[in-house]
Chains A and B, each alone.
Chain A
Amino acid sequence: MNRRILMASAAMALGLAFGGGAQAAGMDKVKACFVYVGPVGDGGWTYQHDQGRQALIAEFGDKVDASTFQENVPEGADAERVLTQMALGGCNIIFTTSFGYMDATNAVAAKFPNVKFEHATGYRRDSENVSTYGARFYEGRAVIGTIAGRMTKSNKIGYIGSFPIPEVIRGINSTYLHAKKVNPDVTMSVVWAYTWFDPAKEADAAKALIEQGVDVIVQHTDSTAPLAEAAKTEGVIGFGQASDMKEYKPSPRVSSIIDNWAPYYVKRVGALLDGTYAQVDSWEGIGAGEVEIGEITDAVPAEVKAEAEALRDAIGAGTYHPFTGPINKQDGSAWLADGVTAPDGDLLGMDFYVEGITGDIPK
């Protein structure tokens, strides 16, 4: 008797494991939920994730309930509470859209094996039901860097960083390398704002950079405040970040790097609906349409625009990798030999500046 129960439960557990792992049956209706780090009206990062959410509704109609989202969720213990609430509330798939939700996502995912968790820009997949996804923003930064290097008259580029994490450091390196390539005299100042979204602080950072003679500002924070600050000074340009930020066209916003999450969200929810869903570690770029370069305005000379677009197309087609050797690290030691492209592992854990950038990465 005991043995039979044991066998039965073992079989059931096996069945659950397979059923849960492969979702072979598919689903009739999926409830997709979203956790946002900022407000949907930030005009940047969270706005774009919300566009992806709306794309789900447009794509699947009645088959998807994507009406549940929570804005301004702090990265930390609160996120865990929100996630638990969503999992208990019947969400089938939950997208956690900021790096700082990593611990919370994995902790809650372990408790709800039947709910799928998708963590943006993370790298930890502790249980079967956690997938991670990111976009190769550094590909877009290469294009932006090229424009920045061509456009600067003072040869000083300012970069507003959020937090010193690999994602941001990659962007700084990619921007610098490509600015340097077209303009050997270029120098770059990095200011760490220690926030993803604080318009006043971002404006102050932009102001501080402009006072130092910077005339091209690249930002890796989410609000449009640096562009608004750039608009106050003649001749200073910047780029839209995460979202197109088109209201600052044609100048100071001369181009932008746009996160387009819609293709990924549609793909994943579609997979859940038709039963082909499986754990992934997705990292797509310009080629897959996840990273887009916003319209390059007339403030940029035609030949620079053509050069930037050619670079964009080469990256998209896979014929050019933004991190192609020879590249040295900041301390002069060799990183990539001539013609070698950077392995993803190096990129994902990037914690060093490339040669030529001054300043230290805060620890």
Chain B
Amino acid sequence: MDLGGINPAVLVASLMVASVPIMLAAIGELVVEKAGVLNLGVEGMMIMGAVCGFATAVETGSPFLGFIGGALGAMALSFVFAVLTQFLQANQVATGLALTLFGLGLSSLMGQGYVGIKPPLTDVVPFGPLADLPVVGRILFDHDPMVYLSIAVIAVVWAVLKFSRMGLILRAVGENHDAAHALGYKVTRIRVLAIMFGGAMAGLGGAYLSLVRVPQWTDGITAGAGWIALAIVVFASWKPWRVLIGAYLFGGISVLQLNLQAAGARIPVEYLSMSPYLITILVLVIMSSGKGRSAMNAPAALGQNFHASR
């Protein structure tokens, strides 16, 4: 198969790389929303992850420590959100938006000294001869560890939510926090942990941007990726594997349209650029119409604050 001079294997390989940041951020946000918390600060947490990861990697010379630093940095920011919304009962939407603005500003401040520095390179996982297989090798066995980790995280989140007791409790808290509380579950504690998991994932996604995908630090490096991650959660109707599909779709289309242009294909790229958003709207319409309503699957307590005295 040949798409106007584009090698499909290369295309698939690059869309997998392009999708990693939004996929990680989206799966983290999915867990947060499953616990009944709407954190709109994904963009802010991602960029904090990007700058903390970058700084850590540059200072230590290790990309691995960089990713850990990115996750911790974003987790710290998400903890601010957790304190404000879970203990001080602040409005989640407003706090989330403020978190984004705060993260963008703080990251810009922290990144002052890191503009124009090259980070240590993240190596490709050595699969030996497997990477030389035609087509399959390029697609499956020629990536850095984070690509595999992102898919693994999806699988783990899916398994935990579906099969484990922990997942059941998390979902109960997200569906009806009063009932969960009456059963003796620590609603606030569970939500704080979920928020921090979401922060860590967003941070990993951000660090992937600044350490692998771009790789450098510039102000505003996430350029709206966090908002796309939020859209993917809705697009996926809060189901982990659909997050994977959504991320590949969003990431894939943006890569595909650039490749088509580079290959000189004469198709209007504007339509291609808007198609993921059109699909999202379509999915939303189908889901919210009559029969599909129950399939919409949004956690019932999403965005509602919980206080034990009520």
Are the C-beta atoms of B223 and A38 separated by less than 8 Å? no
Is A171 interfacial (CB-CB < 8 Å)? no
Question: A322 near B: Cβ within 8 Å?
Answer: no
Cβ-defined contact, A192 with B261, below 8 A: yes
Q: Which residue of A40, A205, A214 contacts B258 across the interface (Cβ within 8 Å)?
A: A205
A224–B255 touching, CB < 8 Å: no
B214 adjacent to A209 (CB under 8 Å): no
**A76 vs chain B, min Cβ distance (A):** 15
- In angstroms, Cα B215 to Cα A201, docked, is 12
B218 near A41: Cβ-Cβ < 8 Å? yes
Query: CB distance A199 to B218 under 8 Å?
Result: yes
Does B115 make an interface contact (CB < 8 A)? Answer: yes
Chain B: minimal CB distance from A211 (Å): 5
Q: Does any Cβ of B come within 8 Å of A27's Cβ?
A: no
**Does residue B10 face the partner (Cβ distance < 8 Å to A)?**
yes
Residue of A71, A200, A207, A231 contacting most chain B CB atoms (<10 Å): A200
Q: Is B108 an interface residue (CB 8 A)?
A: yes
Are A205 and B270 CB-contacts (below 8 A) given A41-B112, A198-B223?
no
Please list the residues of chain A having a beta carbon within 8 angstroms of any beta carbon in chain B: 38-43, 71-72, 158, 189-195, 197-201, 203-205, 207-209, 211-212, 214, 223-225, 228-229, 231, 245-247, 358-360, 362
CA distance A294 to B261 in the complex (A): 29
Which B residue sits closest to A39, measured CB to CB? Answer: B219
Shortest CB distance B6–A (Å): 8
Question: Smallest CB–CB gap between B9 and chain A, Å?
Answer: 11
- In angstroms, Cα B265 to Cα A191, docked, is 11
Whole-angstrom distance between the alpha carbons of A87 and B270 in the complex?
37
B225 within 8 A of A: yes
Contacts from B to A (Cβ < 8 Å): 5-7, 10, 14, 18, 21, 108, 111-112, 115-118, 209, 213-216, 218-225, 254-255, 258-259, 261-264, 266, 268-270, 273
> Is the beta-carbon distance between B261 and A190 smaller than 8 angstroms?
yes
Most buried by A among B220, B222, B261, B273: B261
B262 and A211 contact, CB distance less than 8 A: yes
Question: Contact between A362 and B214 (Cβ–Cβ < 8 Å)?
Answer: no
CB neighbours (8 Å) of B223 from chain A are 195, 197-201
Given A197-B223, A200-B213, A212-B259, 8 other A-B contacts at CB below 8 A?
A40-B219, A189-B261, A200-B222, A201-B223, A205-B262, A223-B218, A225-B214, A362-B269
B108 → chain A closest CB, angstroms: 6
B217 CB to closest chain A CB (Å) equals 8
Contact of B259 with A39 in the complex, beta carbons under 8 Å: no
Given contacts A39-B108, A43-B218, A228-B214, contact A204 B115 (CB under 8 A): no
Determine whether the beta carbon of B214 is less than 8 Å from that of A208: no
Determine if B259 and A208 form an interchain contact, defined as CB atoms under 8 angstroms apart: yes
Partner among A40, A190, A359 whose Cβ is within 8 Å of the Cβ of B266:
A359
Give the contacting residue for A204; candidates B219, B258, B268; CB below 8 A: B258
> What residues of B have a CB within 8 angstroms of the CB of A359 in the complex?
264, 266
CB-CB under 8 A from A200, the residues of chain B are 18, 21, 209, 213-214, 221-223, 225
Q: Which residues in B have their C-beta under 8 angstroms from that of A225?
A: 214, 216, 218
Of the residues A189, A212, A224, contact of B216 by C-beta under 8 Å: A224
Inter-subunit contact A247/B213 (CB<8 Å)? no
Please tell me if the beta carbons of A212 and B5 are within 8 angstroms of each other in the complex: yes
CB within 8 A of A201: which of B116, B216, B254, B270? B254
Pairs A–B under 8 Å by Cβ, sample size 8: A40-B219, A72-B220, A201-B254, A205-B258, A208-B258, A211-B14, A211-B262, A359-B264
Q: B281 to chain A: closest CB distance in Å?
A: 20
Residue of B with least CB distance to A214:
B262
A-chain residues with CB within 8 Å of residue B261 when the two chains form the complex: 189-192, 205, 208
Decide: A211 and B218 in contact? CB cutoff 8 A: no
10 closest A-B pairs by CB: A39-B219, A247-B116, A208-B262, A41-B219, A198-B223, A208-B258, A208-B259, A191-B261, A199-B214, A212-B262
For A208, list chain B residues within 8 Å (CB): 14, 255, 258-259, 261-262
Q: How far is the CA of A360 from the CA of B264 in the complex (A)?
A: 9
Q: Smallest Cβ distance from A119 to chain B, in angstroms? A: 23
Is A360 within 8 A of B266, CB to CB? yes
> What are the residues of chain B within 8 A of A72 when measuring CB–CB?
220
Q: In the complex, what distance in Å separates the CA atom of A360 from the CA atom of B266?
A: 8
- A189 touching B209 by the CB < 8 A rule? no
Q: Is the CB of B255 within 8 A of A204?
A: yes
A209 to B263, CA, bound (A): 8
CA distance A224 to B264 in the complex (A): 24
With a CB–CB cut-off of 8 A, which chain B residues contact A71? 219
Closest residue on chain A to residue B222 by CB atoms: A200
State whether B218 touches A191 (Cβ < 8 A). no
Contact status B18-A228, CB under 8 Å: no
**Bound-state Cα–Cα, A38 to B214, Å:** 17
Q: A residues within 8 A CB of B216?
A: 199, 224-225, 228
- Whether the pair A204, B269 counts as a contact (CB closer than 8 A) is no
Find the A residue at minimum CB distance from B270: A362
Give chain B residues whose Cβ lies under 8 Å from the Cβ of A207. 14
A39 cross-chain contacts in B, Cβ below 8 A: 108, 218-220
The residue among B108, B115, B258, B266 with the most chain A CB atoms within 10 A of its own CB is B258
Contact check, B264 vs A211: say whether CB atoms are below 8 A apart.
no
CB distance from B37 to the nearest CB of A (A): 27
Instruction: Say yes or no: A191 contacts B266, CB within 8 Å.
Output: no
| Residue from the set B7, B14, B215, B220 with the largest chain A CB neighbour count within 10 Å | B220
- State the CA gap A309–B215 with chains docked (Å): 32
Chain A contacts for B220, CB-based, 8 A: 38-39, 42, 72, 197
